[in-house]
Amino acid sequence: MNTAQRSRYTAEYQTLAKALPGQDLPWLQALRQDALAQFSARGFPTPREEEWRYTNVSALEKKLFTPLSTLNDTNVDSAWLKSQQLQDAWVLVLVNGHFSAALSILDGLPEAVSVMSMADALVKQPDKIEKYLGKAADQSEHSFIAFNSAWFTDGLFVQIPAKLFLDKPIQVLHIVTDADALVTTRNIIIAEASAKAKIIETFISYTASLSGTDAATGIDNAYLTAAVTEVFVEQNADVTLYKMQSESEKAYHFGGCYIKQAKDARFTHHNFAFGALLARSDIHVDLDRASECELNGLYLGAKRQHIDNHTRINHLKPHALSRELYKGVMDGRARCVFQGRVVVAEDAQKTDSQMNNRNLLLSGDAEVDTKPQLEIYADDVKCGHGMTVGQLDEKSVFYLQSRCVDDKTARHMLTFAFANEMVDKITLKNLHDKVLEQVLARFPQQGVNKEWL
């Protein structure tokens, strides 16, 4: 980032700082100032950094996105909101990065579960927030994390007490209503020992009109989302986290999820990346003894979209298990990136890890950069990785043609089948149907009947 642009963001920070939560907390102010100093010195990441070599965010230098310091949820149409909320789920709504209690649905949530905005948590439970904030996400790792640490205006704090099994999922619905907005949220999720929960993060732009006309749509809004979620899965707890990113066609998205697992903990992540002009997702997991981790992902790129998925699984202790499968479909001039890294520490004997990345190109102009990595410092492990990049199998196309399916329909069916493997991993029916709708909207529907699925 050039010096002029960097100083513009720094100057904007000085005008915003007094409105940020936690002004009376010295430890938080020190954290923010350290993050601001790191961002001011480094700017946004550049391709000169190894883990950003395939993703150029220099377009962010050309525009100063404006943070929204207060909540304005009055312009969100109730009918549209209902269409985005999952049925049979508790729903936490954030509008432009600010928690809206009025739009959220918490009826029936067990009283023992702590749910509040990050701003409220910093007032009511500052010592607890200090214990967890920044402990899973290292802001020195790259400047997007530092950017979030300095700028976050709100977010969520969720704590599930020990031995509690939530019988319904919690949906965190991130809505952006304004063009040119800078949306920064910081979330902390804690599952105490032997707890079990399913959490769904949905990132969308507002596309409804209060007047019922087409005048107010968010489909072409340009804005920047910078969200960081820290997840702590304590001993023998079980957390499943879903993320569906379906933002504006002109939006920029950075979403980082950083997880720390204790002994015997289980964590599963399903990442569905569909929207935004440029989107980057980081998922970093630290595994303790005998813990288990599963990462699944599906990314669909079209037009000139750029979608980057960066995962890292750190096996720190013995007997842990990890499985990872990411699949991508690219059309038009889309470019997609997968960087998956598994690190096995010297002490992590008996590690069992498998990673796979599979990519399907529908256009000669589409591009995939895939970089699976294994770093193994222990000598008694079972680890492997694989990757594929290619086009549809012509033998499979011919087989369908021999069954009286025309060429175009055959290709549509095979493409959908390739992607649908990841959709079928969703065990929540309402979410499954919502993601399926997104997938079908991005594929030609010829040859695919939703009623069959």
> What is the per-residue DSSP string for 128-165?
HHHHHTTTSS-TTS-HHHHHHHHH--B-EEEEEPTT-B
Residue in this structure with the two tokens 């968010």, named with its chain if needed: 218
At 131, list the tokens. 């214990």
Q: What pLDDT, on a 0 to 100 scale, did the predictor assign at position 363?
A: 87
Reported pTM: 0.93
The 10s digit of each residue's pLDDT in 374-420 is 999 999 999 999 999 887 767 676 657 677 676 777 777 788 888 99
Q: Is the pLDDT of residue 4 over 50?
A: no
Which band of pLDDT confidence, cut at 50, 70 and 90, is reported for residue 444? low
State yes or no: pLDDT of 219 exceeds 60. no
Q: Which of 267, 259, 244, 262 is nearest to 196 (CA)?
A: 267
pLDDT tens column, 12-36: 788 888 889 999 999 999 999 999 9
Query: According to the model, what pLDDT value does residue 390 have?
Result: 80
Tens digit of each residue's pLDDT (9 = 90 or more) over 360-377: 998 899 999 999 999 999
Q: How many CA atoms lie within 13 A of 370 on its CB side?
A: 22
Number of H helices, E strands in the chain: 9, 20
**To the nearest whole number, what is the mean pLDDT of the chain?**
90
| Segment holding 297, helix H or strand E | strand 292-301
Q: According to the model, what pLDDT value does residue 210 have?
A: 38
- The residue length of the chain stands at 453
pLDDT in the model for residue 75: 83
Q: Name the residue among 369, 370, 372, 371 with its Cα closest to residue 385.
A: 372
Q: Reply yes or no on whether the pLDDT at 236 is more than 50.
A: yes
Residues 6+ apart with CB under 8 A from 170: 89, 90, 91, 92, 115, 158, 197, 198, 199, 200
For the four alpha carbons of 122, 127, 130 and 136, in that order, the dihedral sign comes to: negative
Rg (CA), the chain: 22
Q: What pLDDT band is residue 448 in, cutting at 50, 70 and 90?
A: low
Per-residue pLDDT at 398 = 63
Residue 82 has a pLDDT of 93
Question: What is the rounded average pLDDT of the residues 253-277?
Answer: 97
Task: Note the pLDDT of residue 17.
Answer: 84
pLDDT at 152 over 80: yes
The whole-number pLDDT of residue 6 equals 55
- At 21, is the secondary structure helix, strand, or coil? coil
**Separation of alpha carbons 184 and 453, rounded Å:** 37
Judged against a pLDDT cut of 80, whether residue 214 lies above it is answered with no
Write 17-25 long-range contacts (CB < 8 A, 24+): 19/69, 19/70, 19/153, 20/69, 20/151, 20/152, 20/153, 21/118, 21/119, 21/122, 21/123, 21/153, 21/154, 22/119, 22/122, 22/126, 25/122, 25/126, 25/130
Name the strand (E) or helix (H) holding 430: helix 429-441
Residue whose C-alpha is closest to residue 428's, from 440, 436, 438, 416: 436
Q: Quote the pLDDT of residue 451.
A: 54
* Averaged pLDDT for residues 178-204: 96
- Taking only the tens place, the pLDDT of each residue in 334-353 is 999 999 999 999 999 999 99
Query: Residue 449 — very low, low, confident or very high, per pLDDT cuts 50/70/90?
Result: low
Buried b vs exposed e over 183-211: b needs ≥16 C-beta within 10 Å? bbbbbbbbbbbbbbbbbbbbbbbbbbeee
Distance from C-alpha of 151 to C-alpha of 158, rounded to nearest angstrom: 20
Neighbours of 340 (CB within 10 A): 25
Cα distance between residue 163 and residue 182, in whole Å: 38
Q: Among 2-11, 317-326, 360-369, 430-439, whose mean pLDDT is lowest? A: 2-11
CB 190 within 8 A of CB 160: yes
* Burial category of 17 from C-beta neighbours within 10 Å (exposed 0-12, middle 13-18, buried 19 and up): middle
Q: Which of 257-266, 284-293, 323-332, 411-420 has the lowest mean pLDDT?
A: 411-420
Please provide the DSSP assignment of 328-371 as one string: EEE-TT-EEEEEEEEEE-TT-TT-EEEEEEEEEE-STT-EEEEE
Bridge pairing between strands 98-105 and 90-95: antiparallel
- CA atoms lying within 13 Å on the CB side of residue 134: 19
Max Cα–Cα distance, the chain, nearest Å: 72
